[in-house]
Structure 1
Amino acid sequence: MTDNGKYLVVTAEEVAYVREQLGTNEEDIKTSVTSLREWLRMQPHLPDAVDDSVIERMYINCKCSTERVKLGLDAYFSLKHKFSELLTNRDVEGSDFQFAMEHFKLMIMPRLTKDAYRVHVWTSVDEDATNIIWPFYGKMITGALEVMLAEDYSLGDVIIFDLANVNAGHIVRADINLFRNLELCYKVFVHLPGSTTLFDYVQRDCVPDELGGTAGPVDNFSYKLLDMVNREWLLEKDKYMSDESKRPPENRYGDTYGIAGSFKKLSVD
């Protein structure tokens, strides 16, 4: 799976807390994972190429709704056709990843919040917008999410986007549909420079020093999750996708955004 699981560690107490908040337990999870595995094997267009731990993580992400997990599993394999530039050829040693890492810092904080949410931070955007190629970051993020599906355990995610260096050039290079979908699908909080309102939602020890937190400097966390990724493991994941020629007529996948997880998005300027 990965080379090193030390950076991202979820304790038994945190797992128990997440399960308690969702009203589930070990027996329920095992029963549900078995049922979902059987469902997956009955889908002629989907490969049975996903670990039980990933199915369990989807079950937790989907707030223990097996029907939502079925949509998630379908999307996991099917969206690679629609968004191949984001979900395939994710080589952590490739030029796309290496270029992106020089111009934008992404990190997934190793400590869960007190409410068992995982904190993601996007910061240090290159002021020269021509150096920001958004699909590269999309590919990097989906690679990181593969690791999260396999190893993380939380109630959801908090994304902190530091807008300090963002200018009009960055905006015009992004797809306007992306911002429209974010506005429609997620609640966004904007925190003004010098304010402390961010910490009404996330405790300081889950935020890097440069953004007013006490977790430590950004460079202690930037891209550390990718260090855990086994290159061959991720490239192997990219190969497994749906065979749309075998999809049953009554099972037409159309709701691209119907499987979104539980996200709280926070913007820091």
Structure 2
Amino acid sequence: MYSVSEDVKKNVYKTFGRNEQMIEDDVLIIKTWMKTQPHLPELMEDVKIKNFLNLNKFSIEKTKQKIDMYYTIRSITPELFEVSNPKLEVTKNLFNNSYLFTFPKQLNGVHRVYFSKQKKMNTLNPLEFYNVWFSIFEIRLQEDFMVDDYIIADLDSYSLSDMKNINPMILSKFFGVYKKVYALRLKKIILFNCPSYVSILTAILKAVMKPKLFERIEFHPDAEVLKKIICKEELPKEYGGEGLSLDEYNAMMQTKLSQYQGRFDQLDKLRVNENLRPQKLDNDEIMGFYGSFKQINID
């Protein structure tokens, strides 16, 4: 599903002073370390370790921490993963009510672009949305070369009720896992077709995001911004492009998730054994939340 440029890989490796052989050596170091961690439930595949190395700028110690948390987080915040299996009815319903997918080609050969849109008003379930989002991450970990992300959302069908359904604490956990656990790099958030009551969402985002990250959000009144970002060959038909339709992109994402059904069944049961952990886990720093939610006014 994912188109990855070999030139981009080489450039990223060069930026961090790495070559293919050095990366293979780093993978071996990580796998050797994993074998000494009896609490971890499996030995991670090489391709996934390479993505974690890349996301952590090839720091061995940071990569170890993030791989540990990749497994541990499912016990710390189970609500973000418990309905992520694509065979579940709630997951199928999410795709019936929403568009949620990543474009096959990277923007400028580097950035992976997420797209989301509600099909109709008053159907948004943010928690189910976050669950599927991390399921897509699982696919990317296996097939993608992960550098950074663009998040694009069409807010045309977001009702006032949908906006108020967004729980700041859960959203903060989502960003905490996204950034601090998986080390994903958020390049930009683009929100378009923004309704007048988008100020509700703005207030929530400002409360849960650090100022530097919040500054990366763009608000646009219409869809014209897409033509400046997505190439015409991939831009969905609904926005005047020559790409697939939103339904076709959505179906492609569902098909890809279903191809990994065995992995998702495994993840449902995969947990660390805290009784075997060599050192006690301290997750206060990892899952610390930014902001004070009591100050949010969404009346």
Residues 166-185 of structure 1 mapped to structure 2, 5 A cutoff: 166-177=158-169, 178=171, 179=205, 180-184=207-211
* Match in the other structure for 1:248: 278
Q: 1:225, CA displacement in angstroms?
A: 2.7
Distance in 1 (alpha carbons) for counterparts of 2:36 and 2:91: 36
The amino acid that maps onto 1:171 is M
The amino acid that maps onto 1:62 is N
| Aligned with 2:128 (options 131, 136, 154) | 136
TM-score after normalising by structure 2: 0.74
Q: 1:21, CA displacement in angstroms?
A: 4.3
Distance in 2 (alpha carbons) for counterparts of 1:204 and 1:250: 51
In structure 2, the CA distance between the partners of 1:224 and 1:17, relative to structure 1 (3 Å rule), is farther
Are 1:126 and 2:120 counterparts?
yes
Question: Residue deviations 1:237-266, cap 9 Å, x none?
Answer: 3322211223334552333358xxxxxxxx
Q: State the SS of the aligned residue for 1:47.
A: coil
| Aligned with 2:248 (options 207, 216, 220) | 220
Q: 1:165, CA displacement in angstroms?
A: 1.6
Q: Which runs of 5+ in 2 are unaligned?
A: 172-204, 289-299
1:105–1:222 contact (8 Å) kept in structure 2 = yes
Distance in 1 (alpha carbons) for counterparts of 2:83 and 2:8: 33
Relative contact order, higher structure (CA 8 A, sep 6+): 1
The amino acid that maps onto 2:260 is N
Greater displacement, 35-44 / 55-64: 35-44
Distance in 2 (alpha carbons) for counterparts of 1:46 and 1:231: 22
2:13–2:19 contact (8 Å) kept in structure 1 = yes
1:18–1:116 contact (8 Å) kept in structure 2 = no
Distance in 2 (alpha carbons) for counterparts of 1:44 and 1:125: 45
The amino acid that maps onto 2:84 is R
Question: Residue deviations 1:133-154, cap 9 Å, x none?
Answer: 2222222111111110011013
Distance in 2 (alpha carbons) for counterparts of 1:111 and 1:23: 26
1:103–1:125 contact (8 Å) kept in structure 2 = yes
* Match in the other structure for 1:69: 63
Are 1:16 and 2:1 counterparts?
no
1:8–1:225 contact (8 Å) kept in structure 2 = no
Q: 1:164, CA displacement in angstroms?
A: 1.4
2:234–2:244 contact (8 Å) kept in structure 1 = no
TM-score after normalising by structure 1: 0.81
* Match in the other structure for 1:191: 219
The amino acid that maps onto 1:240 is L
Question: Residue deviations 1:207-259, cap 9 Å, x none?
Answer: 4343465534222311423312331222113322211223334552333358x
| Aligned with 2:101 (options 104, 107, 130) | 107
Distance in 1 (alpha carbons) for counterparts of 2:283 and 2:101: 32
Number of aligned residue pairs: give it. Answer: 250
2:236–2:246 contact (8 Å) kept in structure 1 = yes
* Match in the other structure for 2:138: 146
* Match in the other structure for 1:3: none
The amino acid that maps onto 1:219 is D
Q: Which runs of 5+ in 1 are unaligned?
A: 1-6, 259-269
Distance in 2 (alpha carbons) for counterparts of 1:181 and 1:23: 35
The percentage of counterpart residues that share the same residue type is 20
Greater displacement, 176-185 / 135-144: 176-185
2:101–2:253 contact (8 Å) kept in structure 1 = yes
